[in-house]
Amino acid sequence: MVALDGDTGAPGAGARGGTGTDTEGERYANTRAGTGHHLSTPRLVAICVVVIVAVTTGSIGYVVACAAVFAVGLRSTWVFVLAMCLGCGGVVRGDQSRAALEPNVLGAFSGWVRVVDDPQSYPGATRTIVQVGDERFEIWTRGRARQLRAQEWRGGEWVAMQGVRTRLTDERAGRVAWQHVVGEFEVEWASDVRSVGGLSIASNRVRAMIERAGATLPHDDGALFRGLVVGDDRDQPRAMIQRFRASGLSHLTAVSGQNVSFLLAAAGPVLRRLRPAARWTVTVGLIIWFVMLTRFEPSIVRAGVMAGLSATAFVLGRERSSIRILTVAVLGLVLVDPLLVLSVGFWLSVGATAGVSGVGPWIATRLARLRGMRLFALPLGVTLGAQLGVAIPSVLVFGRLPLVSIPANLLAVPVAGAVMLYGLPAALLAGSVPQVATVVMFPARLGTRWVDTVAMIGARLEPGPHAQIVGWVLVLIVLVVLLRISRNTADTHGDLPSDR
């Protein structure tokens, strides 16, 4: 659910940390500064909001009103002009994307279709998205024998099929629009499977090695391991999914910027030895490979674009403000693919990243002024920032924001991060050399068991809806009081600037 991203530092190997990753304090300083740019951070954010309104509503009137409000508030005619230009482009792109959801051809089909993503298991059925010509259709496979056959398919493969393409109901069409699905494909028979394209074959082989490594872990730990490393949650039992949601830890099994950061941190020793141009090329190549490996989920696409922008800014010697990079990434992505605005996962990822990069360091800096809080200030600030960032989409879509998510994240995220960092190279070794798999995967086994145990306990301790609301109110009151005490301390001692 929540993506506790650490993806705004430059994944491109550089000074300070070896991989060019900014500290939380530097991110906050960059965000606060917003200087050195003709288009300041507040103006850039305002333009991004206008474009989001444009692609979501498809209304020029909303675009004009929104752009005018921001232009007056920020006292900038340029904001109005640029927001109007990009907003009008957003209206056109949004209309084009929605029109493309209307299927061009329905009826019988016989031939080759491309599997877009790995099949997803549900109770009693398996769902697969396939591309027929230029359009995407979803396939629902039922019956044990047929499901086992469908579950062998992998993203990027081509399958010979015969069936009938039908229209979706309006309710179903709205739910799957963000995946560009235009209809349902009712399969009559499916036969040959072939792999085409070196990158698809390579990514499927890597995923197969990760699956073999995960299979050495007992019970459901293997499924959780694959979710932590590459976001593969296909085999996670319903009970595991529910307890991770109830404890506010489901973001750990959705790949995001944290996974990208750990990948590039692992590659840091090699990247640091390269010249800037080669370093940038290898960094971007790694990002693209990992995005393909994790099947182009909205959260990882957002994280990949941010990482690429950060790496580019690092090579060019430009400011790498987290909020600016996030804003540019969102602005570009919704113009390229306006249907992303319909993805809950995309907005949870964006909200969490904004909270971690902007709000989290701000809270952490102030909590660190208090006696006895310095050690816990950063993890607590980042966790609170992430929860605040996802509060609106979580409550609107899921109707809840788990109260236990604060302690659960503090306990689970560091261990899950270690599993992510260690897991990919360990899985590649274990999947290639089965003789050492048990030994190599033992640390990952301990880590996944810890994370799952935290989720179990958190789900059991999560209070009911009314107590949850009261709990969050108390948390906010305590936070406000602590921030107020911190501000008074800073004003009294003069050790940090006040917020006036």
- Sequence-distant contacts of 282-289: CB under 8 A, at least 24 apart: 283/11, 283/12, 283/13, 283/307, 283/308, 283/311, 284/308, 284/311, 286/11, 287/11, 287/260, 287/311, 289/199, 289/203
Q: Let me know whether 226 and 283 are in one domain.
A: yes
Residue 293 maps to a domain? yes
Total domains in the fold of the chain: 2
SS3 for 188? strand
Distance CA 323, CA 195 (A): 40
The predicted structure's pLDDT at residue 476: 93
Tens digits of residue pLDDT in 479-498? 999 998 888 876 666 554 44
Are the C-beta atoms of residues 322 and 30 closer than 8 Å to each other? yes
Distance CA 167, CA 71 (A): 43
Between 162 and 4, name the one with better pLDDT. Answer: 162
Q: Sorting pLDDT into bands at 50, 70 and 90, what band is 232?
A: confident
Please give the model's pTM, rounded to 2 decimal places.
Answer: 0.85
Distance CA 32, CA 431 (A): 46
**460 HSE (CA, 13 A, CB side):** 6
Q: Are strands 135-141 and 181-195 parallel, antiparallel or unpaired?
A: parallel
Q: Is the pLDDT of residue 417 over 70?
A: yes
Average pLDDT value for the chain? 87
Distance CA 249, CA 404 (A): 10
Tens digits of residue pLDDT in 77-113? 999 999 999 999 999 999 999 999 999 999 999 999 9
Q: Let me know whether 393 and 281 are in one domain.
A: yes
The predicted structure's pLDDT at residue 123: 84
Distance CA 456, CA 408 (A): 10
Q: Let me know whether 379 and 414 are in one domain.
A: yes
Are the C-beta atoms of residues 31 and 327 closer than 8 Å to each other? no
The predicted structure's pLDDT at residue 28: 38
- The encoded tokens of residue 314 equal 């690092």
Provide CB contacts within 8 A for 2, sequence distance 6+: 248, 250, 251, 348, 352, 386, 387, 389, 390, 394, 405, 409
Q: Let me know whether 235 and 272 are in one domain.
A: yes
Distance CA 238, CA 235 (A): 9
Q: Let me know whether 291 and 211 are in one domain.
A: yes
Q: Let me know whether 470 and 371 are in one domain.
A: yes
Provide CB contacts within 8 A for 85, sequence distance 6+: none
Asked which of 197, 219, 238 is the last residue of a domain, the reply is: 197
**98 HSE (CA, 13 A, CB side):** 15
Distance CA 443, CA 419 (A): 8
Torsion angle of the four alpha carbons 258, 247, 456, 235, in this order, in degrees rounded to the nearest 10: -60
The predicted structure's pLDDT at residue 122: 86
Q: Let me know whether 189 and 260 are in one domain.
A: no
Q: Let me know whether 348 and 447 are in one domain.
A: yes
Provide mean pLDDT across the span 49-56.
Answer: 96
The predicted structure's pLDDT at residue 442: 95
Tens digits of residue pLDDT in 247-258? 999 888 877 778
The predicted structure's pLDDT at residue 493: 61
Angle of CA points 187, 190, 194, to nearest 5°: 135
Q: Let me know whether 184 and 243 are in one domain.
A: no
Residue 251 maps to a domain? yes
Q: Is the pLDDT of residue 279 over 50?
A: yes
Tens digits of residue pLDDT in 324-365? 999 999 999 999 999 999 999 899 999 999 999 889 999 999
Q: State residue 23 phi and psi, 5-degree precision.
A: -80, 165
Q: Let me know whether 312 and 450 are in one domain.
A: yes
Distance CA 309, CA 329 (A): 8
Tens digits of residue pLDDT in 234-247? 888 889 989 998 99
SS3 for 4? coil
User: Which residues partner with 128 through β-bridges?
Assistant: 139
Question: pLDDT above 70 covers what percent of the chain?
Answer: 90
Residue 7 maps to a domain? no
Q: Is the pLDDT of residue 20 over 50?
A: no
Question: pLDDT above 90 covers what percent of the chain?
Answer: 60
Q: Let me know whether 238 and 134 are in one domain.
A: no
Tens digits of residue pLDDT in 404-413? 999 999 999 9
Are the C-beta atoms of residues 390 and 348 closer than 8 Å to each other? yes
Residue 400: domain span: 207-322+333-481
8 closest CA partner among 19, 18, 22, 25: 22
Residue 394 maps to a domain? yes
- The encoded tokens of residue 38 equal 């003709």
User: Which residues partner with 113 through β-bridges?
Assistant: 159
Which region among 174-178, 362-366, 399-403 has the lowest average model confidence (pLDDT)? 399-403
User: Which residues partner with 195 through β-bridges?
Assistant: 157
Residue 466 maps to a domain? yes
Q: Let me know whether 126 and 240 are in one domain.
A: no
Residue 52 maps to a domain? no
Asked which of 197, 232, 258 is the last residue of a domain, the reply is: 197
Q: Is the pLDDT of residue 499 over 60?
A: no
The predicted structure's pLDDT at residue 495: 53
The predicted structure's pLDDT at residue 491: 64
Residue 16 maps to a domain? no
CATH at 129: 2.40.50.140
Angle of CA points 83, 358, 369, to nearest 5°: 150
Residue 248 maps to a domain? yes
Asked which of 197, 231, 260 is the last residue of a domain, the reply is: 197
